[in-house]
Amino acid sequence: MITIEGRMPDGSVNQVTGRLVAPEAFILIKAIALDERTKDKDAYDIAFVLNHYQPSLADLARKVHGLSRTGIGKEALQLLRAKIRMFDSVGPIWAGRAAATAGEDTVQFQRAAFEDADDLFRSLDAI
């Protein structure tokens, strides 16, 4: 749960409380969505989390590993690996395409999406 307070466009102050999913669960959920919905935004969301995760992708890999040993978590990780297996796999391409709609460089974002996922997978393989 997280609570955010701020000023609304009309000047009033508002407070909102919402539930957030952990990043390791989020990317696995998005991997399933990427497989089922085939929407660019799902690939972009995965790439965004991988690119901005702190403190490191090795830390995220340890957390993903804990969720992906059996069941749906294992299936989701297999999907993630399949969708972002190469630079020209659907995951990086769709992520780049979605980034372009926000004014970002398509190929640069595609490259970062692939390289970050590759780093995550290497860390997972080392566990």
CB atoms within 10 A of CB 107: 13
**Six token digits for residue 59:** 């830390």
- pLDDT tens figures, 87-123: 999 999 999 999 999 999 999 999 999 999 999 999 9
Domain boundaries, the chain: 22-126
Quick: pLDDT tens for 5-30. Answer: 999 999 999 999 998 899 999 999 99
What is the gyration radius of the CA atoms in the chain, in angstroms?
A: 16
Could you identify the residue written with the tokens 């804990």? 66
- Give every CB contact of residue 23 below 8 A, 6+ residues apart in sequence: 49, 53, 60, 63
With bands split at pLDDT 50, 70 and 90, how would you rate the model's confidence at 1? confident
pTM metric for this prediction? 0.86
Report the interhelical angle of 90-101 vs 40-52 (nearest 10°): 90
Q: Which residue do the tokens 């690939």 mark?
A: 43
